[in-house]
Amino acid sequence: MRGYFLNIVYLGVLLIAMPVLLWRAFRLGKYRQGWPEKLWGRVPVRANPQKPAAWFHAVSVGEVLQLQRLVKEFQGRHQGWDVVITTTTSTGYQVAVEKFPTCHVSYFPLDFTWAVSRALDRFQPSVLALVELELWPNLIDEAKRRGVSVCIVNGRLSEKSFKGYARLKRMLAPTMSQIDLVLAQNAEYAERFQALGGPAARVQVTGSIKFDGVTLTCDPLKLASLKQSFQLNDASPVFMAGSTHPPEEEIAIQAWQKVRETYPDLKLLLVPRHAERFDEVAGLVKSYDVTLIRRSQPNEIHRGSKSGTVLLLDTLGELTTTWGLADIAFVGGSITQRGGQNMIEPAALKKPVLLGPNVWNFSQIAGELLESKAAVTVLNVEEIVEQLMTLLSNPKLAKSMGQAGQSVVVKHQGAVEKTLRALDRLLPVQQAGRQAA
């Protein structure tokens, strides 16, 4: 009965959102792919459905990238298994296809009873692992009806999300009670999952797999390719603003221009959080009449009449390596009300980190980076200028901040192994035994 009620609610929401979806599809090219999978559950059928399968669902690019090490090690431990990766966004799908060539990649079905039922028919998983926070009642109901183990891996429940879900606690409590295991990033998140109805015995803290997924060094060949495209030399310092949302690009440009009065060789490297904004940000840079070099168009340089060069990373899947180019890193989504983006990667690469005040999505790691003096909070253009001037004039301080950041990251590694051990306990006994010798 609940499933039919939810179908009606979902259809209502979809109808209300349809004008916006159609406009974005027409104007921005978004939401054009994956509708047979999303609406009807017409996901690809596995070539050999007799093989056991693990289904990992990651919403978008960030969650997909987090899965890389976890999936690789799962496949090493369970070589007779298929692995299914689903994602919601088109950019997430593109990255998943690239990063998981040996897995079955598909768009995620919307939570209609008919869509999730057909998807489960075709995937036939033994275990369903939802990354971070994906509470879909119809999917979980149907999976449990079929005897599929369900877990949340790398569970994250920010204060803002918790307040929203708490309003629906009565409806979500049955769903939470069906989840076999919640593997939370920290104790605070674990408490929130329990408050939503997750049985305490099924909620445990395993740490964040984001720490295990980051690299402590960059691939030299990939780094050289980026340097060549951006025409960088080791003599020019780079201020990188990564995973940015509007108006953070403009804030970064204005700060960079002021600092260039003292450090004219300083380059600015911008990496917008969303691919659909690449052209928009390129237009913004051009409006300042400075030189623009785009990663996707290295031979089509826009020459401005004013001095200074801005670099724009407008490709997918290269953010991690690009942090290696930075001398100072600003992590976006933190001056806006987005709650901050992933600051673990630049910290792991020993980059001094600048953060805005709004970092609730990563409150624990942000707090540790700030406490260890690996990061500094900045509120506006003037404070970014102040920190850039301080760090550029004091290389020893910049180096010590970078080392402190990497130490924080290394301290937290190990979550992948804990997660895999927990997942092993959910697998059917005869299938869990099929581990590599």
Residues whose CB is less than 8 angstroms from the CB of residue 134 and which lie 6 or more positions away in sequence, other chains included: 57, 59, 152
* pLDDT score recorded for residue 255: 98
| 378 and 268 belong to one structural domain | yes
Pairwise CA distance, residues 250 & 253, whole Å = 5
Asked if 199 and 259 sit in the same domain, the reply is no
Count the domains in the chain: 3
Q: Nearest-5° angle of CA 214, CA 324, CA 272? A: 85
Q: Which residues of the chain have pLDDT under 70?
A: 1, 20-31, 429-437
Return the CATH number at 46: 3.40.50.11720
DSSP string, 23-68: HHHHHH--S-S-HHHHHH--PPPPS-TTS-EEEEE--SHHHHHHHH
| Residue 306 shares a structural domain with residue 165 | no
Do 9 and 86 share a domain, yes or no? no
What is the per-residue pLDDT for 25? 62
- How far apart CA 407 and CA 128 sit, in angstroms, is 33
Domain assignment present for residue 124? The answer is yes
Rounded to whole angstroms, the Cα distance separating 160 from 338 reads 11
Q: Is 16 among the domain residues?
A: yes
Q: Are residues 142 and 46 in the same domain?
A: yes
State whether 304 and 394 are in the same domain: yes
Catalytic residue among 37, 63, 142, 249: 63
pLDDT the model gives residue 279? 96
What would you report as the CA-atom Rg of the chain, rounded to the nearest whole angstrom? Answer: 23
- Assess whether 231 and 344 both reside in one domain: yes
Range of the domain at 353: 220-411
Both 421 and 349 in one domain: the answer is no
Q: Looking at the domain assignment, is residue 436 inside a domain? A: no
Residue 63 bears catalytic tag: yes
